[in-house]
Chains A and B, each alone.
Chain A
Amino acid sequence: MARATVFRFQSGNSVFHRLDPLTKFAWMLSISFLAFGAYIAWIQIVITLVVLTTAVGFAGISFRELLRGTWVFLVACLSFFVIQTFTLPGTHEIFSLLGRPIYAESADYALASALRIYTIILGSLVFVRATDPRELAIALVTQMHVPYRIAYAFFIALRIIPTIEEEIKIIRSAQAVRGVDRQKGLAGRMRETKRYAMPLLVGALRRASTMVMSMESRGFGAYPERTFVEAPRMTTGARIFCGVMVCCVVGWYTALATGLVHSFYVFAPA
């Protein structure tokens, strides 16, 4: 039994787990919109802290698991931060390193950019970890009136991601046993992808074929509607929460449009 991937639904009884899937979905979308529009570091820091608090305090995910699930992105974001800090122009020099001036504006923008990517990834992890994809699909059908065939296609796509991730690991191990080394550079990575693609595709097709037969043989698609034994419901509190999040997003983009948020910087002077 191999180590379970972090990007997979894990049942639990945390506050975040107990929220209905659409509220969690709205939370993730709002976080992503807020992070996407924030190019000033302090705002990004606040958003990241909110996501981290939600993850650890309300969704019961440990720091260790967060690190395990996002370390690759963390390294990428750090590299991004360093490169941008060194290369972007600015006016207020904080200090110089290796003979190059480091500007406050560059560092501020670089930090915001790096945190933006990381926050979106982190928000997605919290959502995937605490949301049963099936419940989300059901909520889309019962509350958003999405046709159930489309909702189930979405659900199965989410359900199969960890399986494909696992399959890639196995293929990598299997090919390493043949003496295939990990490839470097763009051309090498493309060769590597080609080697993985065929077995992955063959396996995915075989699995998809069985899944389709399994679903059809149990009557999937027989009728335009279907019963849902347990359909999640959005409570009044959850509706208020969603309303607050929508207000935050609208307020933030309004502030951006009117130039209200240009007055505070982390590194750069006001």
Chain B
Amino acid sequence: MTEAGHTAVYDPQVRNEGPVGDNGNPVVLVDIEDLTYTYEGQPTPVLNGVSLKIREGEFVLILGPSGCGKSTFLTVLNGTIPHTLKGTLKGTATVCAKSVPQTKVSVFAREVGMVFQDPEAQIINTRVRDEVCFGLENLCRPPHEILARQSEALAFVGLPDAGDSSIFDMSGGQKQRVSIAAVLAARPRLLVLDEPTANLDPAGMAEVFAVLHRLNRDHGTTIVMVEHRVDELADLVSRVVMMDHGAVVFDGPPRVAFSRPRVAHSEEAQIIRSSAWFPQASEFAVDLAAAADISLNPADLPLNVAEGIQFAERFIQVLGRRPATTTIPVVPPHEASATRPLLSIRNLSFAYERQSPILSDVSLELETGGIVALLGQNGSGKTTLAKCLIGINPVPRQTVWLNGKDIAELSSRELSVEVGYVFQNPDHQFVTDQVDEEVAYGLRIRGFADDAVAKSVNEVLEIVDLARYRHRSPFSLSLGERRRLSVATMMVLEPHLLVLDEPTIGQDYERAQHLMGLMARLRDRYGTTVVMITHDMRLVAEWADRAIALSAGSIAFDGRPADLFAQSRLLGESSLMPPPIFDISTALAARHPGRVVGSRLSVPDLVQSIIG
């Protein structure tokens, strides 16, 4: 185990012993020594003196803020760097006993499998069977062997009968499982995954994690994975590597990794708390121990809900039978206007193809102010509904009213005055060549005077912390910055309703928190109603005033997030999962009603309830 160190000789507790070397230890599969890599044309290295040894059978989770070099590191493991992506590589890198600089990517294809974030971009073929056979066909294996292995691989990922299916007809989770099957067919010794669940709903994410867990436990496949969603993963991995500024700053078992708060640096060089991407059960334990001024033994650190409950039970016993002084906090619903609703939807049905309706008889009202989470599994109609609110999907007359006006009768420009929409990919919305012009654009086409435009642009750029980049091209910013810029272009217009489509995809937890802080500021300052489409339940628990769950195009739930999380059947049907802290607090409240009163949505709330 190393802290901020460079020589990472780690003896893992491998649950399924892989091949052993001469000394009886598992074979070292990845041996990286003082690796530095600079992309062509970039002034500074993205990997900076990385040293790491990974043994056969390990399941390694790599964590770190966006831009810290995680994904770049993964591409070294199969030779994409330096053979496909050009740049300057220094140091030594040996994978599966082959020197990376001297071995072609196609040679690594037999032993290293790569799975990327976006299944749409990595799937080449249109039929599932063809996709799974693709790699083995390239390696010139005989047809009977290829067909046998593709059947095995599809069966392993739980899609035994999907060979003839079209890729276009599959859900996001299924596509990602096909991607995994496509690399498993070659029976790699090392599986490398770069945020494979970023685009998936909680059910899709669970499917993928379950496959990886079985692969590592039952077959001893070595897995190296970058992932931000750690709550469901922390107890499956054998080792955590944390990176910051291109270097390894921690390398050790998960319980040690998450046992104390750490700091890292964002792409913009700001200091951020890395504990923001800790499992919530661990974060709860660390905060509880700190609040009680008790030192925490890493061996006792919980990684999942069950362990979190056990940990709290022991803690409560130590604290004795002193009754809690707190009562269940009554969370005041955000002040909503008592007058007519901002948005009113009545019996809205919508279909792209007449024979396959997407929305069915949806009715709801949104008041002025508040953050509303729009939830549901992939394909449940969330984005379709959101697009109905801004005129991208034309709605029938007399079904959607905004401020009392039928939106079917409003032009797109009239609608854009009242409703803002931040797309998943911020690049799609940029229309100028300069950051400040981008923010000014909406004001200019609405005829604002130059001085008023300049004043508003300056103010908004300060709020989103982009003032220093005002003369740069929007496309030259980092992803987090581009996302903030797209929000700024909407903020400056002070819309009554702002819709965010999956605002946290591809962003680390700290960035997501910052973005939601901006949304709360909009709500409080301008009375904006913010509707966010998301799969991130921690975000919903922490920030949403109201949750609306869609299931098969109909509203399955509309109410407070806490009430939604209490309905386990509904959550299961909608492929949703409550945040760990909710489950921990619910279990504790049932067992210790005198100390924990009711379910809680945040770590500080539960800690305070226990400590009193």
Residues in B whose Cβ lies below 8 Å from that of A181: 412-413
Contact of B122 (CB < 8 Å), options: A8, A174, A198, A214: A214
A229 surroundings in chain B (CB, below 8 A): 133, 137, 143, 146-147
B10 within 8 A of A: no
Check if A2 sits within 8 Å of B352, measured CB to CB. yes
Q: Which of chain A's residues 154-199 have a Cβ closer than 8 Å to chain B?
A: 156, 159, 163, 170-171, 173-181, 195, 198-199
Task: Give A221 Cβ to nearest chain B Cβ, in Å.
Answer: 6
* Contacts A133-B126, A227-B136, A227-B146 given; does A11 touch B166 at CB 8 Å: yes
Select one of A163, A176, A214 contacting B412, CB under 8 A.
Answer: A176
Beta-carbon contact of A175 and B183 below 8 Å: no
Q: Is B384 an interface residue (CB 8 A)?
A: yes
Task: Give chain A residues whose Cβ lies under 8 Å from the Cβ of B127.
Answer: 11, 132, 134
Is A218 a contact partner of B352 (Cβ separation < 8 A)?
no
Q: Quick check: A222 and B431 within 8 Å, CB to CB?
A: no
Taken together as a complex, chains A and B put the C-alpha atoms of A63 and B461 apart, in Å, by 52
- Chain A residues near B125 (CB-CB < 8 A): 134
Number of interface residues of B (CB under 8 A): 72
Q: Are B140 and A214 in contact (CB under 8 A)?
A: no
Complex Cα gap A8–B167 (Å): 13
Task: List B100-136 residues whose CB lies under 8 Å from chain A.
Answer: 104-110, 112-114, 116, 118, 120-127, 130, 133-136
A9 at the interface (CB under 8 A from B): yes
Is B135 a contact of A218 with CB atoms below 8 Å?
yes
Distance, CA A219 to CA B105, complexed state (A): 7
Q: A39–B121 Cα gap in the complex (Å)?
A: 44
In the complex, what residues of B have CB within 8 A of residue A175's CB? 428-429, 431
Q: How far is the CA of A223 from the CA of B135 in the complex (A)?
A: 12
Q: Is B358 an interface residue when CB atoms closer than 8 A count as contact?
A: yes
Write out the residue numbers on chain B whose beta carbons fall within 8 Å of the beta carbon of A4. 168, 352-353
Q: Which residues from A are CB-within-8-Å of B186? A: 218-219
Question: Please, how many angstroms separate the alpha-carbon atoms of A222 and B104 in the complex?
Answer: 9
Contacts of A9 in B (CB 8 A): 126
Total A-B contacts with CB atoms under 8 angstroms apart: 168
A-side contacts of B78, CB under 8 Å: 217
> A159-B126, A178-B489, A213-B84 are known contacts. Are A219 and B75 too (CB-CB below 8 A)?
no
A 102-145 binary contact with B (CB < 8 Å = 1; else 0): 00000000000000000000000000000011100000000000
Q: Would A198 and B442 count as touching, CB distance under 8 A?
A: no
| Residues from chain A with Cβ under 8 Å of B336 in the complex | none
B416 interface contact, C-beta 8 A: yes
A163 partner residues in chain B, CB cutoff 8 A: 120
Query: What residues of chain B lie closer than 8 Å to A199, measured between beta carbons?
Result: 425, 427-430
Choose among A1, A134, A202 the residue that contacts B352 (Cβ–Cβ < 8 A).
Answer: A1
Q: Does B387 contact A (CB under 8 A)?
A: yes
Q: Mark A1-41, 1 if CB is under 8 A from B, else 0.
A: 11110001101000000000000000000000000000000
- Contact present for A134 and B106 (CB under 8 Å): no
Q: How large is the interface on A (under 10, 10 to 19, 20 to 34, 35 or more residues)?
A: 35 or more
Q: Which of A132, A159, A211, A218 has the most CB of B within 10 A?
A: A218
| Bound CA–CA A220/B391 (angstroms) | 44
| C-alpha gap A78/B139 in the complex (Å) | 52
A219 and B442 contacting across the interface, CB-CB below 8 Å:
no
Alpha-carbon distance between A3 and B351 when the two chains are bound, in angstroms: 9
User: A212 within 8 Å of B by Cβ?
Assistant: yes
Task: Name the residue on A nearest B164 (C-beta).
Answer: A11
B428 touches A170 (CB 8 A): yes
Query: Could you list 16 examples of A-B contacts with CB < 8 Å?
Result: A1-B352, A1-B384, A178-B441, A210-B118, A213-B116, A217-B112, A218-B182, A219-B135, A221-B106, A222-B106, A222-B138, A223-B138, A225-B140, A226-B137, A227-B146, A229-B143
Knowing that A173-B392, A174-B421, A229-B137 touch, tell me 6 more A-B residue pairs with CB under 8 angstroms.
A9-B126, A179-B413, A203-B427, A210-B116, A227-B137, A229-B143
List the 5 shortest-distance A-B pairs measured between CB atoms, nearest first: A222-B106, A3-B352, A219-B109, A218-B135, A219-B138
Mark B residues whose CB is within 8 Å of A. 75, 78, 80, 84, 104-110, 112-114, 116, 118, 120-127, 130, 133-143, 146-147, 166, 168, 182-183, 186, 352-353, 358, 379, 384, 387, 390-392, 412-413, 416-417, 419-421, 423, 425, 427-431, 441-442, 445-446, 475, 489
